[in-house]
Amino acid sequence: MKQEEKWVEAYLKYRGFEDIAFEPDGNVSPDFLANGRIAIEVRRLNQHYKGESGKPEGLEQLAVPLRKRLEALLKTLGPPVKGVSWWVSYRIKRPQLTKNWEAAVREKLKAFQSETVEVEERVIKIDRNFRLTLTRADNPGRLAFIMAANTDSDAGGWAIPELEKNLRLCIAEKTGKVEAYRNKYPEWWLIFVDFVMGGTQEPAQVKHDWDKVIMIHPSNYAGRMKSNGCGYFGTTVQTAGYRRC
């Protein structure tokens, strides 16, 4: 069971469901069956980038592996040179132009270390969509280069338009996935785990044909099961004649 599914299972138990079956029909929809009749699909609500192919791509598909690869690379460059450590921050934008970028980053960082010029900050450009910023640390650390922060130029945006855009993409994806199974159960819910809005209470207006679309937020599962007065965790989705509050 994925983490998102564990959060949804906790939410369903909080709602009072006692008969909760995970993957009742095996590795096909639905993800849960509640009270023998309510089919429930689970999805992370994330931000997307739509490239030239027109196919939406979750931002984490590039952002997460890139950060892990960069962190691993920095560790291989060893301890401080000349008694100086550098904070490393980076900025990315899609599309990714240099997929095998480790060699270029390694070469540029080693060249930077060999310089004798004293600087407080240096920008290292890998390509027009990926650059590093090195900032001198006040005190040397265990490593020469220490991961600090990152900026994803494709992330963010106006809150409600961004929420509604990603809801449409994710709802469409899930609607297509369950189409072949809709006649098996009388009621279908779609529950999103929100990684876009940070738990805001703002409603969204998005058309759909599910019986219920619900959003919950991970922060509600840090040992404090609290509802927002509407009987929900996090954001409600208000559409197609349906409003939970």
The verdict on 123 and 168 lying in the same domain is no
Q: CA–CA separation, 72 vs 20, rounded Å? A: 41
The answer as to whether 242 is a domain residue is: no
Look at residue 202 in the predicted model and tell me its pLDDT: 53
Look at residue 232 in the predicted model and tell me its pLDDT: 33
Look at residue 230 in the predicted model and tell me its pLDDT: 30
The verdict on 181 and 215 lying in the same domain is yes
Tell me the pTM. 0.61
Look at residue 74 in the predicted model and tell me its pLDDT: 97
The verdict on 95 and 147 lying in the same domain is yes
The verdict on 170 and 183 lying in the same domain is yes
Q: Which of 132, 152, 172 is the last residue of a domain?
A: 152
CA nearest 213: which of 180, 164, 179? 164
Look at residue 49 in the predicted model and tell me its pLDDT: 74
The verdict on 135 and 206 lying in the same domain is no
The answer as to whether 226 is a domain residue is: no
The verdict on 162 and 217 lying in the same domain is yes
The answer as to whether 22 is a domain residue is: yes
Give the domain extent around 139.
58-152
The verdict on 30 and 66 lying in the same domain is no
Per-residue pLDDT tens, the chain, 245 aa: give them.
Answer: 888 899 899 999 988 999 999 999 999 999 999 999 999 999 988 876 777 777 777 777 788 899 999 999 999 999 999 899 999 999 999 898 999 999 999 999 999 998 866 889 999 999 999 999 999 999 999 999 999 998 887 776 656 777 788 888 889 999 999 999 999 999 999 999 887 755 445 556 778 889 999 888 776 654 333 333 333 333 345 433 233 32
The answer as to whether 99 is a domain residue is: yes
The answer as to whether 239 is a domain residue is: no
The answer as to whether 167 is a domain residue is: yes
The verdict on 115 and 195 lying in the same domain is no
Look at residue 235 in the predicted model and tell me its pLDDT: 39
Q: CA–CA separation, 55 vs 12, rounded Å? A: 32
The answer as to whether 178 is a domain residue is: yes
Look at residue 158 in the predicted model and tell me its pLDDT: 57
Look at residue 244 in the predicted model and tell me its pLDDT: 35
Structurally, how many domains does the chain consist of? Answer: 2
Q: Which of 152, 169, 191 is the last residue of a domain?
A: 152
The verdict on 38 and 73 lying in the same domain is no
Look at residue 76 in the predicted model and tell me its pLDDT: 96
Q: CA–CA separation, 58 vs 169, rounded Å? A: 10
Residue 98 DSSP SS3: coil
